[in-house]
Amino acid sequence: MKLKKFQAESMPEALTQIRAELGSDAVILHTKEITTGGWFGFFAKKRLEVTAALDPTTVTKSTSGRVSKGIEPMPDKQIPTQPIVEEQVWKPINPTTVHESDRNNQPEIIQQLDREFEKQEVSAEIRTQLKEELFGYWYSQPKEKRTTLAVYQHTRQWLKKHLQDVKMGSSLFERKYMVFAGPTGVGKTTTIAKLAAEATLKHDKKVAILTTDTYRIAAIEQLKTYASILHVPIDVVYSMEDFHEAATKYEDYDLILVDTAGRNFTHDFYLKELQKTVLLSEQASLYLVLSLTSKYSDMKAVITQFKQLPVYQLIFTKKDETTTFGALINACLDEKLGIAFLTNGQNVPDDVLHADEDVVVSAVMEGIVFDGSS
C-alpha cells in the first residue's frame, strides 16, 4: 500500500494533488488542520494535512468492468473527521477453527504490520492480541477482500475501539486546577503556556499561573514572559501555605495552571515533596507530562511511581521530534491511563492537540508503509 501525506489550503486543492499523484482510486485515511510559521504562534497560518493511500490490489473499471469509488470532491472548508472509506462489516470467527495449514502460514501483510508495530515500540502483549484479531478477520473475508488496505483499516478500527476504554481528550475547564508534573526537560512549562494561551485567547477565560519550580530560575522567567504577553498573573509558590493563599487570591478565576519542578520521580522522596507543595483535591486534575523522545521503559517506570497519586491523564510532548509513537498505545492499553493532549512544536498556542482515538491511532500508523504484498 502506498501512503502519503499532502498539505493544501483547502480540501479541493488536496484532492487535486492526491489525484495527480495517486490516481482516482486513492482513499483518504485521515485529515487534520496544521499550523505553519508565526511568532509565538500568534501569526501562524492554518493548512490542511490529508493522509491518502492507494492499495495496489484495487480493481478499477478499466480492468474488471466495475466502477471504483475512489476519492470524491468535497466543498471548500469541509473537513471530514473520520476516514471517508466505508468500514468493513465482518462476522468474527474463532481462529482455532481455521485450518491448520492456514494457521502455519500467516498472511505476509499481518507479519509486515507486526514488524512495523514492533519498530514503533508497541508492546508485545498488544501486538499478540492484534495479530490474533487480524488473523481471525483475514480468514472471515472472501479472498477478493483480503487486501492490504482492508487490514490497515481494520487495525485502525480495532485500536480505536480499545482506546475507548480510557478517557481520551480533556476540556480545559473540567476542573479549576490543572497540575502538571513530570521529569526534567519534558516540556511542562511550554505546555502550560500553550494551554494558558488557548484558554485566554480562544475562550476568553480568566487564567492564572502558579509555579512551584523554585529550582530553575530560567523556567520561572520563561513563564513570566508568556504570562506578560497573555496578560495572565503568575505567582511563585514555595509551600502549601503559599498555595492556599494563591487559591484565595484567584478564587474568582476560571482556570489555574500549576507548574511543578521536574524531578527524578523514580524516587519516592520527590513524590512526597510534590504532595507537600500542591493541594491535589477534587478540584484539581493531576497531569503527568512525558516526552515521546524518551524510552518507553523509562516512561513506564515514572508512570508506575505516579500511580501512588491520583493521576488524571497523561500529556505527551515533542511529537514533532520523534517517529516512534508506540508509547501512546502502550500507556492507554497497558497502563490504563488516557491522554489529554499531545504537543507537536514550539508555537504557542497552536502546537497542542486535544487527544482522541483518531489522533493517537494516526500518530502510530501514519508512518507505516507496506510493500503492497498480501
Same domain membership, residue 184 and residue 131 = no
Q: What is the per-residue pLDDT for 86? A: 39
Q: What is the per-residue pLDDT for 75? A: 42
- Domain with 231, as residue range(s), is 177-324+336-355
Same domain membership, residue 183 and residue 147 = no
Q: What is the per-residue pLDDT for 13? A: 80
In angstroms, rounded to a whole number, what is the distance separating the alpha carbons of residues 261 and 184?
A: 8
Same domain membership, residue 208 and residue 109 = no
Same domain membership, residue 287 and residue 184 = yes
Same domain membership, residue 254 and residue 199 = yes
Residue 74 lies in a domain: no
In angstroms, rounded to a whole number, what is the distance separating the alpha carbons of residues 14 and 211?
A: 44
In angstroms, rounded to a whole number, what is the distance separating the alpha carbons of residues 202 and 254?
A: 14
Strands, DSSP E only, in the chain? 2-8, 27-36, 45-54, 177-181, 207-211, 234-236, 255-259, 284-291, 311-317, 339-343, 352-354
CATH number at residue 298: 3.40.50.300
**For the chain, what is the domain count?**
3
Residue 65 lies in a domain: no
Residue 62 lies in a domain: no
Name the strands in the sheet holding 2-8, side by side, starting at the edge strand that comes first in the sequence: 2-8, 45-54, 27-36
Same domain membership, residue 312 and residue 187 = yes
Which residues of the chain register pLDDT less than 50?
Answer: 40, 59-93, 97-98, 101, 372-374
Q: Quote the cell numbers at residue 316.
A: 505527551
Residues 6 or more apart whose CB falls under 8 angstroms from that of 304 comprise none
Same domain membership, residue 141 and residue 254 = no
Residue 331 lies in a domain: no
Same domain membership, residue 301 and residue 183 = yes
Same domain membership, residue 43 and residue 19 = yes
Q: Which residue do the cell numbers 497497558 mark?
A: 334
Q: What is the per-residue pLDDT for 272? A: 75
Same domain membership, residue 349 and residue 361 = no
pTM: 0.74
DSSP letter, residue 331:
H
Residue 83 lies in a domain: no
Residue 66 lies in a domain: no
Q: Using DSSP bridges, classify how beta strands 255-259 and 311-317 pair: parallel, antiparallel or unpaired.
A: unpaired
Residue 330 lies in a domain: no
Read off the pLDDT of residues 184-237 as tens digits, 9 standing for 90 and up: 888 888 899 999 999 998 899 999 999 887 666 666 788 888 888 889 999 988
Q: What is the CA radius of gyration of the chain?
A: 23
Same domain membership, residue 110 and residue 94 = yes
Same domain membership, residue 181 and residue 162 = no
- What phi and psi values does residue 212 have, to the nearest 5 degrees? -105, 5
DSSP letter, residue 82:
S
Residue 26 lies in a domain: yes
